Structure 1
């Protein structure tokens, strides 16, 4: 972008607006990652092989290191595509691989048998010896935490999993899991993946933020751009029809949320950044947030997202976003 005095065009990106971002540590683990995670949710589903390869190549080119997938994404095809891509590059150690178990119909739930089978199959699809970060994709109250935690601990002791975390757990259940792990003398969670963004704050901030701090969990916000709403793409019903979106995104077209977009517009203009970049930079300013999880459908969409860790928002800009999104 040559004209630094004018506002950027939609999708514009400035990767050098701030200092080079340092890798962030995931909780108390020894995993350090670039502060943005690439989701594999569309790989093998809406993104075909060449598109997936292009997205992964661009992510690596921009310094990305943290790949997030699940054994249920596209029936396991997401893991296969990521595994084949890494194998082809021959640099598996350059990436932190996170996957999730519990939702695949072949190995449903969090019983010891399901977890063991799911991890073995994920290892094969990913073509790796160990999963860096294993998420419990669901909270399965039908299985005692002791059984789930012991199964994960055995996998860690066997070198097949390095660390694990929770997803879709309440604060009380996270505390219950920590107590159970302490009593059993097994590994405890180091990370939490949770729905969290500028338009969806209350669920996380009401209780989970306090628990994450108390338990020293690295937080990975999912739906970090609110299904694309926080990219500024959807501002009217006409926009939804143009992009064939509805449902959840349509419900976001409220006065409050449009005020958030207006504030993002102002800050994007001030910082010569894109709206999505500012949205993610706000998330990265929150306590214990390590790496927002983003999904893209094309390689060039990554440039805007990957600019976020380079953007340092002022105290005044952060305060404005906090105020309009309360």
Structure 2
């Protein structure tokens, strides 16, 4: 377990991504997944108010609703660190919004769906690039004072807006983002490495990476772009099958064959051994996919293996 930034929250080695609930995992399978990963010691779930809006027939909020039903059915809210997000539009292609007015409405919707009276970690999901950072943080201050939110985090903010937010926290005695959630994986490194990474390091922010398995690309399930045709993942994977992507898959396969463990476990372990990453977020749509989580938590990559993965993904 690792401490998330300056909070008193202890993150498990892998955080379960709740984006699959109501999308590639129906309610029954979602309940089974939550039972199993909790048994494994993975006690943190990352969701968002818009998950899983993109599935046919969905309107958003499906993930939170399923989690809420589960928490009520099992009576285990106190055993779970619950993270969710605000800022996206429930309408496909709708505007981002992190104004106080939107946040104060969205939190009530999320709490109702989740059947809880507090969120452990509440994220700014996307920036609207117009709301003053002081207004957003002021809204969070009210929610913290009301006991509806314990800590706040940010995802997908630019380096400039993240710095402005951290500065405003100090100068105006407002809540500070304690966790940053970037897209980060063997395939997508530049969105985190560099300036954002340094800001997180300088401010002791916890880091929870999303798309850690690049929408399944790093699991080895798909060898060519043709393999993705007609799948739910096709829109997310279309840009990965270039020369660099193939190099990454080859190194993953080499280590996988040598170690006799899954490629997904290796990709997760690479993130777990990155010093600035607190824990990667990963999801699974079937319970047997959780095997790679167990493998990742019970092995360590050698320095040579880390170097080979770094080289292939540069």
TM-score normalized by structure 1? 0.88
Alignment partners' CA distance in 2, 1:111 and 1:237: 40
Aligned to 1:26: 4
Counterpart of 1:156 in structure 2 is 144
Q: Given the alignment, which residue of 259, 265, 273 partners 2:247?
A: 259
Is the 1:33–1:66 contact (alpha carbons within 8 Å) kept by the matching residues of 2? yes
How far the C-alpha of 1:314 sits from its partner, in A, is 1.0
Partner of 2:80: 95
Let me know the Cα RMSD of the aligned residues: 1.8
Question: 1:121: which partner in 2?
Answer: 109
CA distance in 2, matches of 1:132, 1:139: 21
> Per-residue CA shift, 1:107-133, capped at 9, x if unaligned?
961111111111122112111121000
Q: 2 CA distance for matches of 1:71 and 1:156?
A: 18
The CA deviation at 1:44 is 1.9
Please give the residue correspondences for 1:1-326 in structure 2 after superposition, counting only pairs within 5 Å: 23-74=1-52, 75-105=60-90, 109-241=97-229, 246-326=234-314
**Cα deviation, residue 242, structure 1:** 7.9
CA distance in 1, matches of 2:236, 2:25: 21
Match of 2:56 in 1: none
Q: Any gaps of 5 or more consecutive residues in structure 1?
A: 1-22
Tell me by how many angstroms 1:302 deviates: 1.6
TM-score by length of 2: 0.92
Give the deviation of 1:243 after TM superposition. 5.2
Secondary structure, aligned partner of 1:307: helix
Q: What do the CA deviations read for 1:163-202 (whole angstroms, capped 9, x no partner)?
A: 0011110112111101111111011000011111001111
Query: d(CA) in 1 for partners of 2:246 and 2:35?
Result: 34
Question: Unaligned regions of 5+ residues in structure 2, if any?
Answer: 53-59
Aligned mates of 1:200, 1:242 — CA distance in 2: 23
Structure 2 CA distance for aligned equivalents of residues 162 and 68 of structure 1: 15
SS in structure 2 at match of 1:200: coil
How many residue pairs match? The answer is 304
Question: Displacement of 1:245 after TM fit?
Answer: 5.2
Q: Shift of the alpha carbon at 1:244?
A: 7.1
Q: Structure 2: how far apart are the matches of 1:189 and 1:104? A: 22
SS of residue paired to 1:251: coil
- Per the TM alignment, residue 162 of structure 1 is displaced from its structure 2 partner at its CA by 0.5
Distance 2:295 2:182 in 1: 22
Change beyond 3 A, Cα 1:137–1:237: closer
> Equivalents in 1 of 2:184, 2:300: separation in Å?
20
Q: Which moved more, 1:184-193 or 1:116-125?
A: 116-125
Q: Which 10-residue stretch deviates more, 46-55 or 148-157?
A: 46-55
The residue number in structure 2 matching 1:13 is none
Is the 8 Å Cα contact of residues 67 and 96 (structure 1) preserved in structure 2?
A: yes
Q: Residue deviations 1:77-112, cap 9 Å, x none?
A: 211110111122112111100000111438961111
Report deviation, 1:213: 0.5
